[in-house]
Amino acid sequence: MSQVFSSEDVYRRYLDGLLSNNRQQCRECFEQWLAADAELGTLYENLVQRSLYEVGDLWERGRISVATEHLATAINESLLNLTYPRLFAQARIGKTAVIASTANEYHQLGAKMVADIFELHGWRGYFLGANTPLRDLLDLIREKGPDAVALSLTVYFNLDSLLQTAVAIRSEFPTVPILVGGQAFRWGGRDRVEGLPEVRCLASLSDLEAWLKDERNHV
Amino acid sequence: MFDTPGIAEAMQSYVLETAPVLALRLDANQRVTAANAQARQILRSGAVGRPLAEQIVDFTHSFELSALINQGSTAVHRLTLSTASGMPETLCFRFFPLPDGTLALGSLDLKEQQQLRDEVLGLNRELNDLSRLLHQANAELRELNQVKNRFIGMAAHDLRKPVGVIMTYSEFVLDEAGDRLDDEQRGFLRTSLAAAVGMKRLIDNFLDVSVIESGQLRVERSRTDVGQIVEGVLPLVRLLAARKKIELHTEAGDDNRPLLVDVAKLQQVLGNLLGNAIEHSKPGQRVWLTAHRDDAELVFSVRDQGPGIAPEDQTKLFAPFARAGTRKTAGERSVGLGLAIARLVVAAHGGRLWVESVPGLGSTFFVSLPIAPGGDHA
Ligand code: B12
């Protein structure tokens, strides 16, 4: 307990574990961070997201293999399981959200974290996984009647597919708020999605948390 | 293209020192005489000098290496080798004839490796997604269970009052106007009163369960002694015993060393055990309540001479709504909550509740409460 928790040190050790395929080391760091009782949102952004962005950069520069990149993602994703006991124990506020990566989008971690942030704020966040066919998404929205739908986009070239999805949801469900986000929007596209009624583009998990707090004040 | 001078040497050095390819030189007896760097890493130590066939995992028992070699250098053979890691590894081999033996070249099937990796990653993703769903479903079930407990609690609470009114007024009419009624009418009233009493007990049980299950059971300890506890319990069951002509014996009443427990709840537990014992006994049989105390624990026991409980039913007994194969002797009814509640109350005291029984010879229920070193704490 007396040991001072340094998020920078833990992050370095974590990344080192990811790059040397050392799952155990990663787990220790993850647990250390969790035990330091950090906000989950911070853990997601400053440990998981940061490390994966760095892994992506290293891979882009040819410094690591695809295999290592894949394993790093798998390790990160499986460690998210450790947050679930805390996540799902939050008191419910009776609201639901449906979250998905759209068709052709194989990156799913960002979307899963978005679903988790909903849970953390007392919503039920139903997460559909990567590459969700439009039909399945619409089915789930019909079944759950959510108070919000969130879509995640990583690859900019999938923007059209995201727009089609948003249009389809909007035409069947005229009022449900649609939130979109993800790193694709670093390359633009924000104005195109926000041209649709009741569609908001949020830049980060913190923006989502602000939106959720706002939403709570409105009821 | 590849016949320029220097290329053969480059390829040779690459294959021998770096490439993820196994290169083995075999003599005329298919004994390994030389191995490249990759092969030395992968094969078990001592591989060089031993026949290659010995290192091939063969489940058919009809493996003939020379038959494969004789098929010529264009044929590709899938062979599984035992490796230094202890895990078998499947490689695709081609055999090239040499004047004094054979050159064996083998490599992993890259396409297959890719497929495998993708499969593993896909499975990992699915598993993680499922695990999220599972956690979510569990949380939802916990939530539903709480809703159920709240509902039971509320329903029981609201039912308690009208049942109380029925009881009070039936008693009142029996007391005040009983002599103006004929026997049959008095009988009707008594039956309604008895039914209301039974219903009240049921409602109290439901209320207890909802309180306990929602984690709100509070043990309110106060200073008391064994004598006081027993004295409070007996009136609850004396009438029942008298009505069924059961002899009630106590060996407990004179211990007045101090004790710190929740008196009302403990009396409820003992009352329940005694009630059960009486209800499972036949007229003329006996029921005993005893208490034994030493420095470490206080043990109450309730013994009867009833039909006993089959071993396979003894564990089920304490589950809520359990219907163990026991039969009460006068057709008394219950929903099977009493023992579940009793066990939870005893556990909240840090104690244990258990049964010992031999079918045909009766049952004994034990309640043991720890005594703290200070002396009085349970
Ligand atoms: C892992 C990975 C993969 C894995 C994904 C597995 C999985 N289970 O998700 C696989 C192998 C499938 C993959 C495939 C590809 N990938 Co890839 N991948 C990555 C990597 C390394 C990590 C992704 C990740 O999980 N990041 C961490 C998460 C948490 O970050 P995030 O998604 O940005 O989410 C955060 C925020 O954006 C926000 N957020 C996200 N969504 C939303 C939604 C809302 C509403 C809100 C409010 C917020 C929000 O919250 C999250 C937490 O802060 C990235 C590197 C990187 N920079 O991310 C490359 C990366 C994303 N991939 C890239 C590429 C090019 C590809 C491929 C096209 C490669 C190829 N040629 O095959 C394919 C694409 C296939 C497809 N059609 O989708 C590029 C994308 C370039 C671009 N801008 O278009 C990147 C950036 C790598 C690089 N440096 O080149 N990839």
**Percent above pLDDT 90 for chain B:** 33
Q: Is residue A169 part of a domain?
A: yes
Strand partners, B24: B35, B104
Rounded Cα distance between B295 and B307, Å, is 34
Strand partners, B23: B105
Whether B331 has a pLDDT exceeding 70, the answer reads: no
For ligand 1, atom 17: residue with the closest CA: A107
Alpha carbon A93 to chain centroid, angstroms: 21
Alpha carbon distances (Å) from B336 to A10, B276, B279, B326: 54, 11, 13, 11
Tell me the average pLDDT of chain B. Answer: 86
H or E segment at B91? strand B88-98
Centre of ligand 1 to C-alpha A44, Å, is 14
Rounded Cα distance between A122 and A108, Å, is 22
Indicate whether A128 and A193 sit together in one domain.
yes
pLDDT at A105: 92
pTM score of the predicted model: 0.69
Total domains present in chain A: 2
Q: Please report the domains of chain B, with CATH numbers, ordered by start residue.
A: 7-108 (3.30.450.20), 110-216 (1.10.287), 220-370 (3.30.565.10)
ipTM, 2 dp? 0.71
Indicate whether A20 and A128 sit together in one domain.
no
Q: Are A141 and A176 in contact (CB under 8 A)?
A: yes
Closest CA to B141 of A97, A216, A142, A92: A92
More confident residue, B242 or B93: B93
Quote helix, strand, coil % in chain B, to nearest 5.
Answer: 50, 20, 30
Q: Is residue A139 part of a domain?
A: yes
pLDDT at A1: 44
Which of A74, A92, A115 lies closest to B124 in CB terms?
Answer: A74
For ligand 1, atom 57: residue with the closest CA: A53
Residue B262 neighbours by CB distance under 10 Å: 20
pLDDT at B332: 54
Indicate whether A75 and A110 sit together in one domain.
no
Rounded Cα distance between A110 and B14, Å, is 43
Rounded Cα distance between B299 and B359, Å, is 23
pLDDT at A190: 92
Alpha carbon distances (Å) from B314 to B201, B207, B335: 24, 25, 17
Indicate whether A107 and A198 sit together in one domain.
yes
Question: β-pairing, B352-357 with B363-370?
Answer: antiparallel
pLDDT at B335: 54
Strand partners, B43: B83
**CATH number assigned to the domain comprising residue A126:** 3.40.50.280
- Report the residue count for chain B: 378
Q: Is residue A91 part of a domain?
A: no
pLDDT at B328: 59
For ligand 1, atom 91: residue with the closest CA: A107
Indicate whether A212 and A117 sit together in one domain.
yes
Q: Which residues contact A147 (CB under 8 A, 6 or more apart)?
A: A95, A96, A97, A123, A176, A177
Q: Is residue A210 part of a domain?
A: yes
Tell me the pLDDT tens digit for each residue of B45-90. 889 999 999 999 887 777 889 999 999 999 999 898 988 988 888 8
Q: 141-170 in B: which are within 8 Å (CB) of A?
A: 143
Q: Point out the domain boundary residue: A40, A63, A85.
A: A85
Give the pLDDT band of residue B321 (cuts 50, 70, 90): low
Q: Which residues contact B317 (CB under 8 A, 6 or more apart)?
A: B309, B324, B339, B355
Tell me the pLDDT tens digit for each residue of B143-179. 888 888 888 888 887 888 889 899 889 888 888 887 8
Indicate whether A71 and A166 sit together in one domain.
no
A216: distance to nearest CA of chain B, Å? 21
Q: Is residue A157 part of a domain?
A: yes
Indicate whether A28 and A126 sit together in one domain.
no
Rounded Cα distance between B72 and B70, Å, is 5
pLDDT at B103: 96
Q: Do A129 and B129 touch (CB under 8 A)?
A: yes
Q: Is residue A155 part of a domain?
A: yes
Indicate whether A116 and A44 sit together in one domain.
no
Tell me the pLDDT tens digit for each residue of A69-116. 888 999 999 999 999 988 888 888 889 999 999 888 999 999 999 999
Rounded Cα distance between A107 and A156, Å, is 12
Q: Point out the domain boundary residue: A85, A119, A134.
A: A85
Question: β-pairing, B222-224 with B259-261?
Answer: antiparallel
Closest CA to A129 of A150, A148, A141, A112: A112
Rounded Cα distance between B126 and A125, Å, is 17
Q: Is residue A90 part of a domain?
A: no
Indicate whether A120 and A181 sit together in one domain.
yes
What residues in B contact A112, CB-CB < 8 Å? Answer: 129, 132
Residue in A81, A183, A186 to alter for ligand 1 test, most ligand atoms within 8 A of Cβ: A183
Indicate whether A189 and A110 sit together in one domain.
yes
At B35, phi and psi to the nearest 5? -140, 145
Strands (E), A64-138: 95-101, 123-127
Domain encompassing residue A137: 96-217
**CATH number assigned to the domain comprising residue A38:** 1.10.1240.10
Q: Point out the domain boundary residue: A56, A85, A114.
A: A85
Tell me the pLDDT tens digit for each residue of B282-306. 999 999 999 988 888 899 999 999 9
- Which parts of chain A register pLDDT below 70? 1-4, 218-219
Q: Are A159 and A201 in contact (CB under 8 A)?
A: no
Indicate whether A80 and A118 sit together in one domain.
no
Which of A92, A127, A130 lies closest to B132 in CB terms?
Answer: A127
pLDDT at A17: 94
Closest CA to B327 of B340, B310, B344: B310
Indicate whether A100 and A170 sit together in one domain.
yes
